[in-house]
Amino acid sequence: MSNRRDFLKYSGLLAGGVLVSKSLTACGNGGGRASSKGLTLRFEPYDLKLKHVFTLASSSRTTTPVMLIELEYDGVIGYGEASMPPYLGESHETATKFLSGLNLHQFTDPFLMDDILAYVENSAPGNYAAKASVDIALHDLVGKLIGQPWFKMWGLNRNKTPETSYTIGIDTPEVVKDKVREAAPYNILKVKLGRGNDKEMINTIRSVTDKPLCVDVNQGWKDKQMALDMIHWLREQGIVFVEQPMSKYAIDDMAWLTENSPLPTIADEALQTVKDVLPLKGVYSGINIKLMKCGGLSAAHKMANMARIMGMKVMIGCMTETSCAVSAAAQLSPLVDWADLDGNLLISNDVFQGVTIESGKVTLNDKPGIGISKI
């Protein structure tokens, strides 16, 4: 064990020298020196560069702010990440404030995960991405201390990982065609709709590929009858499911749409964390779990099991993220029907390597924790 720890300590510190600059902030122990007595948290703001301008129904952007964090115990380092697309309300500033306020050094046993995560959860309302970064780092740390990846500790079968979808944003027909060609390694494509040119988008994509498609409307449809008519049309075009077709507040309209829809409807913006799952029974066919929305792997694991018990479909998604948060989410992927874990594939400055996509399928490795190493 001590040899393994020494190796992890060495590799972690060496990699830390590359990624984590001298400006990296330590908190929770009143200084920058790691101690073997308690958990030491460090964090650094970072901006992810998108390969393409990313357009949703309501906004466009070329970068996404993230916070990269390290949680160290006895020389072993767990990595975590908060991804904070602006429309969700978190930022480098809010995450810095939240993380600076945590005193994780009080915890001298990282295996007391429930206690540690309850403390993090109760330390301030909201801040789900920042909370997720600590949860992910703690899972990575504990997995490394035990020497196993989380999918194994949860008893999941790596052969049951789903295919992952590759997202095609709203754009001009020529750019859309280019993106479809780029997506050649993927067997299912996710198409963003809801900007008033939905049929044009689908027809453009169908002119270059007959792969299965799923669509994400990001609350863009305003009328339930129009939504149902569109879903019937989409079904004829080989669409697999429809994500967040209407406003998250249109609960009665969504229940009607789900009851009448020939395709499964998936809640995304309509849910945040564990407590939101139960009320969605009968309103949507399934849920899209994202670590940055729900606060991390602990909540995500509970949500996936709840949805399964309720007979709902489960999808695991992501934000624009490095391979850190994507690989963490991938640990859960054998539990889900569909994965949308392409966030790391859409950026040009990833700083980790972890889960890979092989023949379109999420492919887990044997690395302990969340299965990543620094580039």
Nearest Cα neighbor of 81 from 120, 126, 44 is 44
| Least distance (Å) between residue 64 CB and Mg ion | 15
Cβ distance to Mg ion smaller for residue 293 or 301: 293
Cβ distance to Mg ion smaller for residue 58 or 106: 58
Question: What CA–CA distance (Å, rounded) separates 316 from 337?
Answer: 8
**Residue 113 is inside which H or E element, if any?**
helix 113-122
| Least distance (Å) between residue 243 CB and Mg ion | 5
Cβ distance to Mg ion smaller for residue 181 or 222: 222
Cβ distance to Mg ion smaller for residue 343 or 371: 343
| Least distance (Å) between residue 133 CB and Mg ion | 21
Question: What CA–CA distance (Å, rounded) separates 323 from 126?
Answer: 24
Length reported for the chain? 375
Cβ distance to Mg ion smaller for residue 144 or 192: 192
Cβ distance to Mg ion smaller for residue 68 or 304: 304
| Least distance (Å) between residue 288 CB and Mg ion | 6
Cβ distance to Mg ion smaller for residue 216 or 350: 216
- Give the CA-trace dihedral at 292, 297, 299, 304, to 10 degrees: 100
Q: Does 70 bind Mg ion (CB under 5 A)?
A: no
In the three-class reduction of DSSP (H, G, I as helix; E, B as strand; rest coil), residue 127 is classed as coil
Question: What CA–CA distance (Å, rounded) separates 45 from 206?
Answer: 40
Q: Does 216 bind Mg ion (CB under 5 A)?
A: yes
Cβ distance to Mg ion smaller for residue 10 or 249: 249
Q: Give Cα separations from 28 to 2, 38, 135, 250 (angstroms).
A: 26, 9, 15, 42
In sequence order, the 6+-apart residues with CB closer than 8 A to the CB of 259 are none
Q: Are 173 and 198 in contact (CB under 8 A)?
A: no
**Stretch touching Mg ion by CB under 5 A, among 24-32, 122-130, 260-268, 291-299:** 260-268
Among all residues, whose Cβ is closest to Mg ion?
Answer: 268
| Least distance (Å) between residue 267 CB and Mg ion | 9
**Stretch touching Mg ion by CB under 5 A, among 80-88, 133-141, 214-222, 359-367:** 214-222
| Least distance (Å) between residue 295 CB and Mg ion | 18
Among 268, 321, 342, 350, binds Mg ion (CB under 5 A): 268
Question: What CA–CA distance (Å, rounded) separates 133 from 321?
Answer: 11
| Least distance (Å) between residue 292 CB and Mg ion | 12
Q: What is the largest CA-CA distance in the chain?
A: 64
**Stretch touching Mg ion by CB under 5 A, among 89-97, 233-241, 263-271, 295-303:** 263-271
In sequence order, the 6+-apart residues with CB closer than 8 A to the CB of 190 are 165, 166, 167, 168, 213, 214, 215, 216, 243, 340, 342
Q: Which of residues 178-207 bind Mg ion (CB under 5 A)?
A: none
Cβ distance to Mg ion smaller for residue 77 or 215: 215
Q: Does 121 bind Mg ion (CB under 5 A)?
A: no
Cβ distance to Mg ion smaller for residue 176 or 214: 214
Residues that bind Mg ion (rule: CB under 5 A) add up to a total of 3
In sequence order, the 6+-apart residues with CB closer than 8 A to the CB of 357 are 164, 185, 186, 342, 345, 363
Q: Are 62 and 40 in contact (CB under 8 A)?
A: no
The binding track of 218-257 with respect to Mg ion, each residue x by CB under 5 A or -, is: -------------------------x--------------
In sequence order, the 6+-apart residues with CB closer than 8 A to the CB of 96 are 25, 43, 45, 67
**Stretch touching Mg ion by CB under 5 A, among 55-63, 124-132, 177-185, 208-216:** 208-216
Angle, alpha carbons 348-354-360 (nearest 5°): 80
| Least distance (Å) between residue 290 CB and Mg ion | 8
Chain residues in the site for Mg ion (CB under 5 A)? 216, 243, 268
